[in-house]
Chain A
């Protein structure tokens, strides 16, 4: 795919006249006479995809999601969402635990379980990278504000699916982690009891818990992801891709520089799927997630559990937020758990949601932003991104603060100083390398 020249299609679906002489000469085949696949090709096959390595993050999200659906479906054939005790080879354990043990000890199912586990990690990592690229290149601005918000919703849905996925194996680890989620949901003032009982099928852990969590993990959230991701992609089709800055110099105004969907983008997509699946199989085979027997079936003991990396920043806040933030008002309690476990992440996601509206360059815009802002000319965004990453990393450190011999006060010092320091340093460094002439990232024809 190295030869850019021959594969650069200087056109876009919207600019291609219906039946252009240069497009298809293929005679109508058996299928065309019935469903006219050539019309499909004319409408979507010539959709142009800009070529840029960071443009693959979004596709990676889609592909890992497909892998999750396929491996998850296979696992659902064997998994039993029940916490009723059964006796299997002399040991009395919950049925979900027993069925997960069966998955774990069946070779291909065990590989699929491990691939499912790592695909979830990769999906969330890809969403974060995709978001970071959109943020740094400023392409959340007009006209793409709606898709930024939809993307954020997809991140939250995916985190929800991942959280429910934790609980299903029903070992001591899973029950403890889910119990903490239940406690956080219960801490919502006034409606906490109803919300937590709906989200966990009663007072967790109870008889209905696993069928509730299973249904949410397997049907409700994935269907919501499919629907919302569908809207996300439809909006991309309507708005067309943003483009790397060089396209502004090469392509005519209003045209997209890149490769057509069929066959080149499809070929690259297939390569990407194969690479991802291969990588996940290797990871699944050689770096399995913790075996069920590591924590054993649920017991009265609570193992020391920490959430995975993508939730550990909330866990860090749960540990270091002082208890004096809690207060009672109108007969309800605003607990520390409510502030650390729900209000804090909601504020963080709320700020992300407001990014397109807080960005001053996105107010009263003449025309639309259609080109990626080059990394070197966006000093403020680089500074903000580094500050945000430092903040999240500091909170990850807070999850382990006593292991490092730090006091809560010192930990708070790091949580406050690290983002500010990193932001300032990143700003000063990127200012040094700022080019003299800035690229106008708006579309030249409006």
Chain B
């Protein structure tokens, strides 16, 4: 028995449509699957721990050495040297590390403080000033001038270290008079 040609044509058309539909269905299934994978991948991202930042009135204490946690007095810090400090009670936040510098006598103000977290890749800058009296980072060699708002003397850092206003009390203790004036570490 011979089929009428018009019906055969419709049959082929139907199959072509079904094939197209199935192809799209498979693509959509793949796309949805990829999307479904992206959600658990993004959920992997964070575990945030609350940590407190430096605030006005925080007393600065030694971050290293055998006097860790003791208040830093101006007398502990000869002119032309630097020390690593934490705001008292906030040493659990590594990003709160402070580079406290006593500038040589001719400079004014004589005590300045900056974030000790290098803006290049987040290393702690050295607490020993280099031969020129500048702050330097041991990781990739960035150099900052403490007498000039931690301006960059040599890269690769792009941003100067955020500054921290400090006050020297009558007893020689040093306290923060505000917060860091910029974001900490690499951005």
Contacts and interface: CB of A to CB of B under 8 A. Distances in A.
Contact of B138 (A183, A304, A318, A322): A304
Interface centre among B47, B157, B185 (most CB of A within 10 A): B47
B18 interface: no
A180 B156 contact: no
Interface in A171-208: 176, 179-180, 182-184, 186-187, 194, 197-198, 201-203, 205-208
Given A299-B64, A319-B156, A323-B156, A202 B138 contact: no
Interface in A210-255: 212
Contacts of B49: 206-207
B138 A302 contact: yes
Interface in B36-64: 41-42, 44-49, 63-64
Given A186-B186, A319-B140, A301 B42 contact: no
Interface stretch (B19-27, B70-78, B116-124): B116-124
Nearest to A318: B140
B124 A302 contact: yes
Contacts of B140: 315, 318-319
B169 to A, nearest CB: 24
Interface string B85-117: 010000100100100000000000000000010
Nearest to B126: A302
A183 B48 contact: no
B97 A300 contact: yes
B155 interface: yes
A336 B121 CA distance: 10
B123 to A, nearest CB: 4
Interface of B: 41-42, 44-49, 63-64, 84, 86, 91, 94, 97, 116, 120-127, 137-141, 152, 154-158, 185-187
B120 A337 contact: yes
Given A183-B121, A303-B138, A197 B156 contact: no
8 closest cross-chain pairs (CB), A and B: A183-B121, A323-B155, A197-B45, A208-B47, A302-B124, A304-B138, A302-B123, A202-B47
A393 to B, nearest CB: 19
B121 A179 contact: yes
A315 B140 CA distance: 8
Contact of B46 (A197, A299, A302): A197
A198 to B, nearest CB: 5
